């Protein structure tokens, strides 16, 4: 077995097991910490897919900013006590497991997934696909359609900031 | 190079774990984490297919998905904090203001 394949399997095992622990953990703080491991595994997948810039951004935005926000809210609401939310023993869990099994079977064995054209692009084409230079050139190039969405993103973030401030105000008249 | 459909199947598994988490959990913060998991699975398919076809388009989509995820989390957690202030509980089954 080649080295990239071995690395892929190790990372896949890490990602899937920590994602399962996000769902299975009783304590939300533990869920958040396992989610950090999943994000780091996905960042390493980005490196193996030659998306170096996105790997760095993934670690900064997801594992840094978003997870700090999650942990901050968990601490703020003081929900870390496991008895705060008892899971009722309803029909919900087996039904969810059955639906999930059906979903993953349909997803994996749908012919579209496995009948990809098997010849990927050449390795030397792909090598610097995700460097900062390539990403920046295609993000800001006037010939490509990414410049306008990039500007719109600033409005989206502004709206999110204003919305978060208004929602977090103490009195809402 | 690892074949592309390995990555696609892995992303499918991660997405399904996120779906099951959303269906099972009753803590809205953990539900949000599972939504983030699903977003990450979708991003992984974008990057894998972008490498498969040798184009930067897949990575561009992921850049925008990151910005949308950050905005979504900030607003969603604000809603959860306000929900907790009004109802003094965070159980998602107790919050059905829009149901009737």
Rounded to the nearest 5 degrees, what angle is found at the Cα of B94, between the Cα atoms of B28 and B75? Answer: 35
* Cα–Cα dist A89/A95, whole Å: 12
Average pLDDT over every residue of A64-75: 90
**Looking only at Cα atoms, what is the longest distance across chain A?**
64
* Cα–Cα dist A70/B73, whole Å: 8
Which has more pLDDT, A91 or A137? A137
pLDDT confidence bin for B16, thresholds 50/70/90 = very high
pLDDT confidence bin for A43, thresholds 50/70/90 = very high
* Cα–Cα dist A106/A109, whole Å: 5
Indicate if the pLDDT at residue A95 is higher than 80.
yes
Q: Which residues of B touch A73 (CB under 8 A)?
A: 29, 77, 80-81
Let me know: does A129 contact B59? Beta carbons within 8 Å.
Answer: yes
Torsion, Cα A143 B57 B69 A4, to 10 degrees, reads -150
Question: In percent, how much of chain B has pLDDT > 70?
Answer: 98
Shortest distance, CA B65 to any CA of chain A (angstroms):
10
Give the per-residue pLDDT at B86: 81
Give the per-residue pLDDT at A79: 62
Q: What is the ipTM of this complex?
A: 0.91
Give the per-residue pLDDT at A88: 62
pLDDT confidence bin for A13, thresholds 50/70/90 = very high
Least confident among A5-19, A44-58, A110-124, B46-60: A110-124
Indicate if the pLDDT at residue A26 is higher than 70.
yes
pLDDT confidence bin for A30, thresholds 50/70/90 = very high
Please say whether the dihedral angle defined by the alpha carbons of residues B76, B77, B83 and B89, taken in this order, is positive or negative.
Answer: positive
Average pLDDT over every residue of A75-97: 71
* Cα–Cα dist A59/A49, whole Å: 15
Indicate if the pLDDT at residue A49 is higher than 80.
yes
Mean residue pLDDT across chain A: 85
pLDDT tens figures, A143-171 = 888 999 999 999 999 999 999 888 877 66
Q: Which residues of A touch B30 (CB under 8 A)?
A: 22-23, 28, 31
Average pLDDT over every residue of B31-56: 92
Give the per-residue pLDDT at A110: 75
Give the per-residue pLDDT at B88: 76
Interface of B with A in 5-64 (CB under 8 A): 5-10, 12-21, 23-27, 29-30, 32-34, 36-37, 40, 43-44, 47-48, 50-56, 59-60, 62-64
Distance from the Cα of residue B10 to its chain's centroid: 15
Indicate if the pLDDT at residue A44 is higher than 90.
yes
The chain A residue lying nearest B19, using CA atoms, is: A100
């Amino acid at each position: 077995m080649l080295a990239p394949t071995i690395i892929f399997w190790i990372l896949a095992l890490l990602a899937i097991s920590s994602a399962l622990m996000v769902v299975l953990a009783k304590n939300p703080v533990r869920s958040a910490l396992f989610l950090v491991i999943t994000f780091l595994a996905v960042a390493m997948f980005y490196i193996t897919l030659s998306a170096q810039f996105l790997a760095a951004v993934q670690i900064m935005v997801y594992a840094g900013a978003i997870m700090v926000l999650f942990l901050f809210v968990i601490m703020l609401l003081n929900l870390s006590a496991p008895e705060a939310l008892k899971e009722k023993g309803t029909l919900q869990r087996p039904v969810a497991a059955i639906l999930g099994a059906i979903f993953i079977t349909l997803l994996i064995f749908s012919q579209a997934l496995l009948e990809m054209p098997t010849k990927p692009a050449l390795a030397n084409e792909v090598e610097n696909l995700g460097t900062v230079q390539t990403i920046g050139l295609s993000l800001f190039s006037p010939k490509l359609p990414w410049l306008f969405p990039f500007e719109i993103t600033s409005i989206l973030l502004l709206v999110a900031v204003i919305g978060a401030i208004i929602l977090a105000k103490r009195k809402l008249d | 190079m690892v074949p592309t459909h390995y990555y696609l199947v892995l992303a499918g598994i991660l997405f399904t774990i996120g779906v099951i988490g959303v269906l099972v959990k009753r803590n809205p913060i953990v539900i949000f984490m599972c939504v983030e998991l699903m977003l990450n699975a979708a991003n992984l398919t974008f990057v894998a297919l972008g490498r498969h076809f040798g184009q930067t388009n897949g990575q561009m989509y992921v850049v925008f998905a990151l910005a949308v995820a950050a905005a979504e989390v900030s607003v969603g957690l604000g809603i959860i904090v306000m929900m907790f202030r009004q109802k003094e509980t965070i159980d998602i089954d107790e919050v059905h203001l829009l149901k009737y």
